Amino acid sequence: MLGALLSGLVFGVGLVLSGMTQPAKVIAFLDVTGAWDPSLAFVMAGAIAVYAPVYHLLRKRTVFTALDTHVSEPIDARLVVGAVIFGAGWGLGGFCPGPGFTALGGGAPQAFVFVAAMLAGMCGYRLFQRSRPEQDGAFSIPPPAASVASAAGAQSLAASRNDCA
């Protein structure tokens, strides 16, 4: 639990330092036809440079069913349409979810407006999902073929499927 708090703090400080909490900088990164500021590419590169080795080392040492979600995840319309909708919102406001929360710490009203609307959008997604259960690919994937998936493993898989990526 303390680990989650510390991780959030380090993540948040990283967001501030990186420039992700300045919507103008995010817009400048996305504005390749204007005065393009490529800085934020370094953010992604730096983050992956730390995350990827930790993930792959951990995966080598332990069997984490919950981490292997990508094996059985479909590449479907939800993924692409969701990414398009998310990208449209990101380009419009210059905020994505992490920097939105971190910007709350600065007390700017824009951050509160954005985060409130974002949470409303997430609630909207829950309603949308509930309204069409037959389309619910997210929770109807079969358990992985590998026999390591115990009931608990399958459960954690289903739970983590609800998470990002």
Chain positions 28 to 57 lying near other proteins, rule: CB under 8 A, are 28, 30-35, 37-40, 42-52, 54-56
- Tokens of residue 88, six digits: 């449209």
**What does DSSP assign to residue 41?**
H
* Given 63, 131, 144, 159, the residue binding other proteins (CB under 8 A): 159
In Å, how far are 9, 54, 63, 75, 89 from 146, measured between CA atoms? Answer: 36, 23, 11, 20, 38
Binding residues for other proteins restricted to 93-132, rule: CB under 8 A: 93-98, 100-108, 110-111, 113-126, 128
SS3 label, residue 164 = coil
Residue 104 sits at the vertex; the CA angle it makes with 95 and 160, to the nearest 5 degrees, is 65
Q: In whole angstroms, what is the distance from residue 70 CA to residue 11 CA?
A: 23
Least distance (Å) between residue 142 CB and other proteins: 17
User: Judged by CB, which is closer to other proteins: 25, or 154?
Assistant: 25
Binding residues for other proteins restricted to 61-80, rule: CB under 8 A: 64, 66-67, 69-70, 73, 75, 78-80
Least distance (Å) between residue 48 CB and other proteins: 5
- Tokens of residue 129, six digits: 């999902």
Q: In whole angstroms, what is the distance from residue 142 CA to residue 162 CA?
A: 14
Least distance (Å) between residue 161 CB and other proteins: 8
Least distance (Å) between residue 107 CB and other proteins: 7
Asked if 152 is part of the footprint of other proteins (rule: CB under 8 A), the reply reads no
